[in-house]
Structure 1
Amino acid sequence: MSLKKGTEVELEIESTAFKGKGVAKKDGIAVFVSGTAPGDVVKARIIKKKKTWREAKLLEILKPSPDRIEPKCRHANVCGGCTWQHLPYSEQIKHKEQHVRDHIERIAHLDPGLVKPILACENDFYYRNKMEYSFGTKRWLTEEEINRDEYVDDTAFTAGMHAPGRFDKLLNLQECHLQDPISFNILDFVRNYCIKNEIPAFDIFKKEGFIRHLVIRNSHFTEDLMVNIVTFEDRPELINSLKDALLEEFLSITTVVNNINDQYNPTAVGRYENVLHGPGFIVDKIGNHSFKIHANAFFQTNTRQAEKLYSVARDFAELDNGGHLFDLYCGVGTLSLFMADKADKVTGIEIVDVAIENAKFNAKENGVENVEFVLGDMKDTFNDEFLEKNGRPDCIITDPPRSGMHPDVVDQLCKLDVNRLVYVSCNPSTMARDLKILKEFYHVESVQPVDMFPQTYHIEAVAKLTRK
């Protein structure tokens, strides 16, 4: 069988791989199928053909895996937010740990035994402290509607999440279990309010309408709750009435803000912001430090697990005797401040100017004086001149984006030959790529997976390296 595009095949899923897809073997060729679990026997259609692998669309589960469970959410099979709800959490973390081991062995060419048992999340639902919902005029049709012979109208006031791979259509959510249940209740209330009061959603094609996004943030360690309404126009007569209705219905809301994005880009960050109620921020904690989190500020999405992740990084840094720490890709400084109690000095580097401003603000608010934040592109800033000015570090923590570190930064770390290097990664495959180079100059002592996002295929990992 040539497994050409369009071919329907019967497959037995053997394992999981990139983006949580199930993996089967057919005629010696790997076939990836979304929405499947190891042990499933399925009928699928080939939709992509490459030289050494295929991708297929699930058509029917002929025999379910013994591990397969009924998803908690009715949208699990079509929403891109949760890809693994059909697997028990105990199975999810087994696969995530194995993915890290596979990356370490296949990409970094290191012993997979370096990978420690995964640190699981205490709550596998309702763990997020932020959800960003979108509004639009086109809804994603159900499988049943798509298969009907007659025309089905997809125009409607819609509130929810973008359908996977589609910028123009939204899944009209009827439930969501990732944030505190009040989050979906607020979304549902705003949707019904707008329909009842004929407040239009923004139409991305006509470039008109009013409401664009709803961003809800809640604090793990306090009772703060923020509602951020993102609109296309600044219309106080509309937004204030909605704000009053929200505050009357949800007494736990502590602040309401209105971000006005009057541009055509799809972002939920406004060109400017009006605070409608309360202080305009919420307060949360990581470790001993408190953070004022404004509507558009970055903060770790899973507060409790962030503490676990940071604790691993701090233990790997071995700062019991103090020393100078560099925090590369420091963001708003949460990890820098978390480490500051153990270090004599922490120097953070970050390319985003707003993040540096927030980092300095957070340090000042927490009374932390042994930190310094430097604005600059890592590949240009982290050079010999920077080291001359700031001194040689005893330890470096690097927490790069999903793409990993720029090759120039990896080269500088190899030349620097620092005593200890801690690599915090949200993408173990790119971390493994970098470790393959770094291992020539450092011993990779251990890798600790930490699950920050249950029900998804995403996994964080922390690697400990010491100078050879």
Structure 2
Amino acid sequence: MEACIRIESLAFGGSGVGRLGGKVVFVAGAVPGDEVRIRPVREKKHFMEAEILEVLVPSPDRRVPPCPVFGQCGGCQWQSLPYARQVFWKERIFADFLLRQVGVESQVMGSLLAAPNEWAYRSRVQFKCYQSPAGFVMGFYRRGSHFVIDVDHCPIAAAAINQALGLFRDWLSQSPCPEAIPQVDLAVDDEGQVAAIVHCLAADPRPLAAYLAPRVGEQGLALYVQTGRKHTLTQVQGPGRLCIHPLDASPLRLGYPVGGFAQVNLAQNRRLVAELLQAVGSPTGLRVLDLFCGMGNFSLPLAAAGAAVVGVEDFAPAIVQAEDNSLANGLTARFLCRPARQALTQDLLRERFDLVVLDPPRSGAREVIPELLRMRPERIVYISCDPATLARDLKPLVHNGYQVRGARGIDLFPQTYHLESLTCLHAC
């Protein structure tokens, strides 16, 4: 059943939102103000999802996406929307989650912290690979499929990554086993070091490693080969870690293992850390528990500012790196390798913390919330990459004696619907 509708807003997830016969309609690729002809692809009782057949009247906000594969590649959703309007909608979507679902007062909502660069910001990219009859293809999966779209440049990737993309496409097309390479991960750090992880399904990856090693060596790149899960990662050439600088005008330097986690927008990560420190105020003498601490992205700036920090993370290599980072920067912090959901049921439940910092994965921190309510720290700062799980986790806190004193979205992901946020809660 085809129909014509007008797009009124945007939803978290990236789709445009309209209405048809009393139902909400989510339309991927649509922009607020568009009048579109659609075809439903999935229908439920109260909503439907639809695809665009034709843009009948384009929105005044619609722009021509600069990427030639936009709409095919599954990475970006909002390139057809000017960045100022992306910022407007991200701020509104984040506020709606907290105002409607949690009852947060509008006056505590801060404006979205926009990215200074909407392009060339991404410091880590996974490129899918395929040896086709026409040659070696390196790019991204087509939306909703495993068909690899060939790209020679990604506009949101850092310049160093795009340069490395060209090199690896040439090298791998002539390598001993191009048909056995499903993926290449490229990353660049705050010091310009580029690292590549080449995934290899060949029975013996050594010929590939021997072929690539002198080539990446000439370019000053780090090279790793991975033959299965993460434990099969093998260093071939170059340094064993990458580094970030989480604070402006500070010598603080944090290493993390190649293949490990760091925020993909390094410039905005510094602003996120600065927002945390500003929200905390004067950290001197505060006892801080940092759950999901990783390699110390928040723990060590807080320790450098004078806080007594305990970091908790269940990924052992990240804890080892956090301890190394603490030592290398002359800081004193304690790091524990254990799941966050168990951290407060052991010895930490007997300790007093003034502040708990949470930076959970997209799935949120649901299992930690009951333990936080038993501990009852004076303040909680929740850093989230998903407003839906954030709102879910905030509800039991605000219903049991905590008040949201500040919340702000931070855009680490221009051209996409994703956003980071920082929410501050105080015990009443």
- TM-score, normalised via structure 2 length: 0.93
* 2:130 counterpart residue number: 136
User: Cα 1:190–1:405, aligned 2, differ >3 Å: closer, same or farther?
Assistant: same
Q: Give the alignment partner of residue 113 of structure 1, picking from 107, 110, 115.
A: 107
Q: Deviations over 1:42-79 (max 9, x none)?
A: 11110111111000011111111000001110011111
How far, CA to CA, are the matches of 1:344 and 1:225 in structure 2?
33
The one of 159, 167, 177 aligned to 1:181? 159
Partner of 2:142: 163
Equivalent residue runs for 1:68-107 within 5 Å:
68-107=62-101
Q: Alpha-carbon deviation of 1:403? A: 1.4
Aligned pair in 2 of structure 1 residues 11, 355: CA closer, same or farther (>3 Å)?
Answer: same
Is 1:446 the counterpart of 2:406 in the alignment? yes
User: In 1, Cα distance between the equivalents of 2:289 and 2:255?
Assistant: 24
Deviation at 1:384, TM superposition (A): 6.0
- Give yes or no for contact 2:160–2:194 (8 Å, CA) kept in 1: no
Structure 2: 5+ residue runs without aligned partners? none
Q: Say whether residues 1:424 and 2:383 are aligned partners.
A: yes
Taking only aligned residues, the RMSD between alpha carbons, in angstroms, comes to 2.0
Relative to structure 1, is the Cα distance of residues 344 and 239 closer, same or farther in structure 2, using a 3 angstrom cutoff?
closer
The question of 1:46 aligning with 2:15 is answered no
The residue number in structure 2 matching 1:212 is 182
1:62 corresponding residue in structure 2: 56
SS in 2 for 1:20: coil
Secondary structure of residue in 2 paired with 1:101: helix
Q: 1:259, 1:270 within 8 Å by CA — same for their partners in 2?
A: no
CA distance in structure 1 between the aligned counterparts of 2:172 and 2:360, rounded to whole angstroms: 40
Q: 1:172 aligns with which of 150, 166, 175?
A: 150
Give the C-alpha shift of residue 282 in structure 1: 3.1
Deviating beyond 6 angstroms after TM superposition, the runs of 4 or more aligned structure 1 residues are: none
State how many pairs are aligned.
Answer: 423
Letter in 2 for 1:159: M
The equivalent position to 1:254 in structure 2, one of 211, 214, 220, is 220
Alpha-carbon contact 2:161-2:194 (below 8 Å) kept: no
- CA deviation string 1:326-367 (max 9, x = no partner): 001111211101111234410111122222122112212222
The one-letter code sitting in structure 1 at the alignment partner of 2:360 is: P
Shift of 1:401: 1.3
- Per-residue CA distance 1:415-455 (angstroms, 9 max, x = gap): 32211111111111211112121113111111011000100
Q: Is the 8 A contact 1:214 1:227 kept in 2?
A: yes
Using the TM superposition, give the Cα deviation of residue 247 of structure 1 relative to its aligned residue in structure 2, in angstroms: 4.9
Counterpart of 1:395 in structure 2 is 355
Name the structure 2 match of 1:367.
Answer: 330
Q: Distance in 2 between matches of 1:392 and 1:322?
A: 13
Q: Choose which of 264, 267, 278 in structure 2 pairs with 1:301.
A: 264
Deviation (angstroms), 1:33? 0.3
CA 353–245 in structure 1, closer or farther in 2 if over 3 Å, else same: closer
- Tell me whether 1:381 sits opposite 2:340 in the alignment: no
The 1-side partners of 2:242 and 2:341 are apart by 34
User: Partners in 1 of 2:172 and 2:376 — Cα distance?
Assistant: 59
Cα deviation for residue 458 of structure 1 reads 0.4
Name the % identity: 30
Counterpart contact for 2:138–2:169, Cα < 8 Å: yes
Rounded Cα–Cα distance in structure 1 between residues aligned with 2:328 and 2:225 = 25
SS of the equivalent of 2:183 reads strand
Q: Secondary structure in 1 aligned to 2:13?
A: helix
Q: Distance in 2 between matches of 1:320 and 1:356?
A: 22
Q: TM-score, normalised by structure 1?
A: 0.85
1:246-285 correspondence to structure 2 within 5 Å? 246-248=216-218, 253-261=219-227, 263=228, 269=230, 271-276=232-237, 278-285=238-245
What is the CA–CA distance in structure 2 between the aligned matches of 1:286 and 1:127, rounded to whole Å?
15
- 1:142 aligns with none
Q: 2: distance between equivalents of 1:113 and 1:155?
A: 58
Q: Displacement of 1:194 after TM fit? A: 3.2
Q: C-alpha displacement at 1:196, in angstroms?
A: 4.2
Which stretch shifts more, 64-73 or 333-342? 333-342
C-alpha contact (below 8 Å) 1:317/1:421 kept by paired residues? no
Structure 1 residue 284: Cα displacement: 2.8
Corresponding residue number in structure 2 for 1:3: none
Asked if the contact 2:15/2:30 (under 8 Å) is kept, the reply is yes
* Deviation of 1:246 (Å): 4.5
SS of equivalent residue, structure 1 residue 334: coil
For residue 144 of structure 1, what is the aligned residue in structure 2? none
C-alpha distance after superposition, 1:389-414 (max 9, x if no partner): xx21011111111111124x212222
Gaps of 5+ in 1: 1-6, 139-153, 202-208
Q: Distance in 2 between matches of 1:197 and 1:40?
A: 47
Alpha carbons of structure 1 residues 376 and 197: separation in structure 2 relative to 1, 3 Å: closer
SS in structure 2 at match of 1:239: helix
Contact in 1 for aligned 2:160/2:188 (Cα 8 Å): no
Asked if the contact 1:101/1:113 (under 8 Å) is kept, the reply is no
Letter in 2 for 1:58: I
8 Å contact 1:107–1:429 — kept in the other structure? no
What is the Cα deviation at residue 286 of structure 1?
Answer: 1.2
Pick the aligned partner of 1:37 from 31, 35, 42: 31
